[in-house]
Amino acid sequence: GEDFLLLLTCTLVQGRRKAAELKAAFAAEPATSGLPGGVGLSIGAAQASIDSDSLADALRLADERMYDDKASGRLSARSR
């Protein structure tokens, strides 16, 4: 899969809210997206000043959280 990085100037709460909105929009429009079946969206968020001492640490944490999100999506898809 492809990974993308967004750096936002907002709080972690606002970033997580935006992530939830993006995931909901992505899930609501699979037919109109033109993407092949089975394509999903996984998001991880971290706030540099809260979750870590440096931007590099925040990026590592966001990446870990994205993979956690990806794994939880696979688990919930299997249980359907």
More confident residue, 51 or 18: 18
| Whether residue 78 has pLDDT greater than 60 | no
* End-to-end C-alpha distance for the chain, whole angstroms: 23
- Cβ atoms 55, 62 nearer than 8 A: no
Distance (Å, whole) CA 34 – CA 65: 27
| Whether residue 75 has pLDDT greater than 60 | no
Distance (Å, whole) CA 52 – CA 19: 20
Write down the pLDDT at residue 11: 87
Q: pLDDT by residue (tens digit) across 28-68?
A: 776 666 767 677 788 888 888 776 778 888 889 999 999 99
Residues with Cβ within 8 Å of residue 62, at least 6 apart in sequence: 44, 45, 46
Write down the pLDDT at residue 80: 39
